[in-house]
Copies of this chain bind each other. A is one copy, B any other.
């Protein structure tokens, strides 16, 4: 039963959104086309009316997940600057969220082994994230460097905090990383943190 173009476009968006959620929860390899289509309320057969293959959906899903993460982090930045963004990110609630916010912490090592299409999408998201974390500081170059440093630490610490079996050790990692980023920024002039 054919759907109208508008409905089809909505379906496509729903598939991308469902995939963006599912891959952050289960990983890319573990998220099957049938699972992602079912999460969007569809059967798997219609997949190829919308996407060339699994990789193309994944790259779009990463862009969508990245967009949501940027929006979340951007809101924190607007409200409380870099400190608020870091606090929100390096929190136990983010660590324990069933659907992680950040695709890099949730899927980093899988993305590192992915193909060109996926890596290109990831690179674009990463550049936007750097720009978001750099904010509107006067020294663009320095602010960008700080954003790279902060995001590297945030992603590394969150990844380790999620690996670790011991709850105390996990919190220790988040706290040490947060303390470091907070203390570091407060030493430097012209930072909003």
Contact = CB atoms under 8 A, between A and B. Distances in A.
A166 B179 CA distance: 31
B163 A122 contact: yes
Contacts of A152: 153, 156-157, 160, 173, 176-177
A156 B151 contact: yes
Determine how many copies of this chain the complex contains: 2
A113 B26 contact: yes
Given A109-B109, A123-B166, A148-B176, 20 more contacts: A104-B160, A106-B109, A108-B109, A108-B163, A112-B163, A122-B164, A126-B163, A127-B169, A145-B176, A149-B180, A151-B156, A151-B160, A152-B153, A153-B153, A154-B156, A155-B156, A155-B159, A155-B160, A156-B156, A156-B159
Interface residues on chain A, size class:
35 or more
Interface in A138-189: 145, 148-149, 151-157, 159-160, 162-166, 169, 172-173, 176-177, 179-180, 184
